[in-house]
Amino acid sequence: MDLITAQSTATPVTEAAPLKAAVILAGNREGRFAPVIADWFLAHADGHPAIETELIDVAGLDLPTALSYRPGPGTREVVADVGARPARADAFVVVTPEYNHSCPAPLKNLIDWYRAEWQAQPVSFVSYGGVSGGLRAVEHLRQVFAELHAVSIRDTVSFHNAGAQFDDEGTHRDPAGADAAAKSLLDQLVWWGRALRAARKAHSYAG
Ligand SMILES: Cc1cc2nc3c(=O)[nH]c(=O)nc-3n(C[C@H](O)[C@H](O)[C@H](O)COP(=O)(O)O)c2cc1C
């Protein structure tokens, strides 16, 4: 059981269970660069002692693009099946490129199909793109997730002109800065993930 003790001095925090972080791969473009970024991030996350990851790749989801409050037979099962994946997560990491100053449509579709699944959950961002490094997509997503009562994590990892930063084997050419950013993101995600997991267990959310 989580024990989070609020004290003004050093705070003992004991958590038995690792944090279940769902890593959401946001784009399904043919020939996408996404797997390079995802593999890079997963290698960091899987090396973190407090985290277990599950990949949710939008390219593998059969969610309809037409939303429905009352999905019919067939769609209902797909929506329930896909929704079980965010529902079992304690935290989210969205790996997103930037398309036209925002996030890819399949990610927004995934977000819009669900509500309670995001509520009182921490969401962090690994972004990439051209000159922007995907940061405008991230700022849009912060607004979207706020509407869903999720908590967005401050520190991000962002890769501008992402293709040039990795070699043909997907190895980062100059990894020190990105490695440090990944560590901050993961440490903050674990902090919020543990705090919110304990809070959700102790109190039903007021949303
Ligand atoms: C439709 C489209 C729109 C894009 N818009 C932007 C943009 O607004 N800002 C930016 O920095 N890069 C932009 N890019 C560049 C992508 O972010 C970059 O190519 C990224 O690697 C795409 O991710 P993917 O390969 O996983 O699909 C755009 C690319 C596409 C295909």
Taking only the tens place, the pLDDT of each residue in 122-158 is 999 999 999 999 999 999 999 999 999 999 999 999 9
**Residue 163 Cα: closest atom of ligand 1:** 21
Protein residue closest via CA to atom 19 of ligand 1: 129
**How many angstroms separate the alpha carbon of residue 131 from the centre of ligand 1?**
10
Q: How far is the CA of 26 from the centre of ligand 1 (A)?
A: 12
CA of 167 to the centre of ligand 1 (A): 19
Q: Which among 154, 171, 148, 28 is positioned nearest to 96, based on CA atoms?
A: 28
Report the nearest atom of ligand 1 relative to the CA of 32.
25
Query: Distance (Å, rounded) from C-alpha 148 to C-alpha 115?
Result: 6
Per residue in 53-103, pLDDT tens? 999 999 999 999 999 999 999 999 999 999 999 999 999 999 999 999 999
Q: Element (H or E) spanning 151, and its range?
A: strand 151-152
- Report the predicted TM-score, pTM, of the whole model to 2 decimal places: 0.93
Give how far Cα 43 sits from Cα of 23, 57, 98, 183, Å: 12, 16, 22, 12
State the pLDDT at residue 15. 58
| Closest-lying ligand 1 atom to the alpha carbon of residue 131 | 11
Mean pLDDT of the chain: 93
pLDDT digits (tens, 9 = 90+) for 16-25: 799 999 999 9
